[in-house]
């Protein structure tokens, strides 16, 4: 779960930095290319969420062997 939270932080920083660049210094063509990062970030985040934390919520805990 910790690694997923780190990913969310990293993705948020990447999105904020890219958005800031797209809004402040990029021309229209560059801004369009910069906003293209939103799709891949979203896809990776959703896949990771489903195969990580959400999967763990619905998987019964394994008992330790004695």
Predicted local distance difference test score (pLDDT) of residue 63? 65
pLDDT in tens, 23-63: 999 999 999 999 999 999 999 999 999 998 888 888 887 66
Q: How confident is the model at residue 65 (pLDDT cuts 50, 70, 90)?
A: low
Predicted local distance difference test score (pLDDT) of residue 39? 94
Cα distances from 48 to residues 3, 5, 22, 26, in angstroms, run 10, 11, 26, 31
Predicted local distance difference test score (pLDDT) of residue 49? 92
Predicted local distance difference test score (pLDDT) of residue 66? 58
Q: What is the pTM of this model?
A: 0.75
3-state secondary structure labels for all residues of 19-60: HHHHHHCCCHHHHHHHHCCHHHHHHHHHHHHHHHHHHHHHCC
Reference 7, options 31, 36, 43; nearest CA is: 43
């Amino acid at each position: 779960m910790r690694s997923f939270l780190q990913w969310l932080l990293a993705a948020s920083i990447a999105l904020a930095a890219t958005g800031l660049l797209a809004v402040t210094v990029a021309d229209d063509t560059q801004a369009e290319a910069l906003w293209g990062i939103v799709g891949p970030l979203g896809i990776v985040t959703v896949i990771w969420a489903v195969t990580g934390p959400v999967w763990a919520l619905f998987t019964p805990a394994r008992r330790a062997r004695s």
